[in-house]
A and B are shown apart, each in its own frame.
Chain A
Amino acid sequence: MGQTIVEKILSRASGKSARAGEIVVARVDWVMAQDGTAPLAIQAFERMEGKRLFDPERVNLVIDHSAPSPTEGISNLHKLMRDFAREQGCRLYDIGDGVCHQVVVESGRVGPGCVVVGADSHTCTYGALNAFSTGVGSTDLAAALISGQIWFKVPETIKIVCHGTLPPGVYAKDLILYLIGDLTADGATYQAVEYTGEAIKALSQEGRFTVANMAVEMGAKAGLMEADEKTFAWLAAHGGGGYTPVTADPDAVYAAVKEYDITNLEPQVAKPHRVDNVAPLRSVAGLKIDQGFIGTCTNGRLEDLRIAAGILAGRKVHPGTRLIIAPASRRIYLAALRGGILSTLVEAGAAVVTPGCGPCVGTHNGVPADGEVVISTANRNFKGRMGNRNAEIYLASPAAVAAAAVAGEVVDPREFVK
């Protein structure tokens, strides 16, 4: 009987033939925590009487959720992380370096076959590099920091096959929103998903990160893709190599196989206050928008900023609307700066903030007012997510957000990208 990608990766990492439903203790290749979760993990590390990291070369901490610090309480938590990293000799990415998931995929240290745990639910992003990566809490993370291991129940896998090609003006974000709308917020709970088919293969590596990133929004433990020449080009460009791709066996056993033809897909939107409350974008056309936000581990990459700049070039953000941009990393920020993308966005009236998570998680840098409507490229639209329970958040592609910022209301972005 054949194995899925997850079963193969966890077999290698645990030294036994892993099958869905079994419990394994797996070796981890990379461990990550951010400033919302690392302080509790450091506390648990100390309570567990941890002395040293299992391998400082395989651990990184990232200050991204409140960067730079907006309050003295957070400043003290950041100091705790900096002191811990210095004592233990692990890498700390400080304010301005970027969103944790982007700095990890830019490090070249995570690739095909790796097992990664991160104290952040969107750790599933690295599935786009053919890794088994999943979010855990701070205590599980502390156990991994000490032992280099973690226990897993080997998940069953849902295979998602996407046929066809995305039409112009329709993006990876529209694809994943559509899938989540169909599978629902708990459609893959306790399971992994494998994304495959020619539509996935046709996506850029950046677009694949967008799709893998939102696996957790259907409850999945991980969202994996096969490695190909795009994966290896990404790794080579970021100094990574030496990985062996992991493919599913032809006779692997799946919990379900879902097939989609996305040839006629149109721009999508997730309406308040659920990520699976998905509808065609045109169903909310004309909705007045107070704030647009382009950024996050879902859609703050260079390709996303370039698409936004393509729409905003020679235009202005509507006087009744604000547009906030947070490049996902320093590297992206610099590339967008040097390539003229940022000057286009700033000339159009956008406010560019430090690479990080602030607006998405409601810590700072763009908390909406009561009754305001936000359109965002983020991955969550829960009530209060951006810091105000009396605001409404719509999730869409960077093109849809840029177009809404220009029009002051929701419009079909294809009108701008003809």
Chain B
Amino acid sequence: MRLQGRAHKFGDDVNTDYIISGKYKFKTLDMNELARHVMEDLDPDFYRKIRPGDFIVAGANFGCGSSREQAPLAIKYARIGAVLAKSFARIFFRNAINTGLPVVECETDQIQSSDELVVDLAAGVIENRTRGIKIPVKPLPPVMLKILADGGLVAHFKKYGGFNFG
């Protein structure tokens, strides 16, 4: 999987309330509607700045807070290609894999907003074309690779009728 786009940089501890506020997320299952409010409390204009395939790049503990799966879904439906962060909160990380939003653990200090990135998940490397540097990616655990390869947890369950990590 090879993704290309621009970086939008955020800080540490971006919580799920910032990703999609509770005042919207409980109202609807329409993810296109929720996507319009993604990251609104941190940057009210964020949705309008996104070009399809762009990346959210953040510091440590991205996605902390509530278990709302609307958080990775709102990011995905806002047509963000992947989230790159130094570390992720565990519920968000699972939810992202389960719903098919690529999440990439890597060093992000050498990425700034507007940098042009190429993320090669198979090779496990990010190329920052703006700065001419390559950044290694921390590989996913095998169980998560299996779920991703099957197309998410829904597809995994449909395929095997339950968990199958044999």
Contacts and interface: CB of A to CB of B under 8 A. Distances in A.
Is A bound to B?
A: yes
A175 B28 CA distance: 37
Interface stretch (B2-10, B50-58, B126-134, B158-166): B158-166
A58 interface: no
A119 interface: yes
Interface stretch (B12-20, B76-84, B107-115, B117-125): B12-20
B41 interface: yes
Interface in B16-33: 17-18, 21-23, 25-29
Interface of B: 13, 15, 17-18, 21-23, 25-29, 40-42, 60-61, 64-70, 72-73, 87, 89-91, 94-95, 98-99, 141-143, 152-154, 157-158, 162-163, 165
- 4 smallest CB-CB distances across A and B, nearest first, come from A137-B95, A186-B61, A137-B69, A384-B41
A121 interface: yes
Contacts, number: 150
A119 B69 CA distance: 9
A37 B67 contact: yes
17 contacts: A23-B141, A23-B142, A25-B163, A37-B68, A71-B27, A77-B26, A77-B28, A137-B91, A140-B98, A143-B157, A147-B163, A151-B165, A153-B143, A367-B23, A380-B65, A383-B18, A389-B41
Given A140-B98, A380-B17, 4 more contacts: A137-B69, A137-B95, A274-B13, A363-B22
Contacts of B162: 146-147, 149
Interface residues of A, number: 54
A141 B60 CA distance: 26
A147 to B, nearest CB: 5
Given A135-B67, A147-B162, A44 B27 contact: no
B153 A140 contact: yes
A274 B65 CA distance: 11
A48 interface: yes
B87 to A, nearest CB: 6
Interface of A: 23, 25, 35-37, 39-40, 43-44, 47-49, 65-66, 71, 73-74, 77, 118-121, 123, 135-140, 142-143, 146-147, 149, 151, 153, 185-186, 189-190, 219, 221, 274, 361-363, 367, 380, 382-385, 387, 389
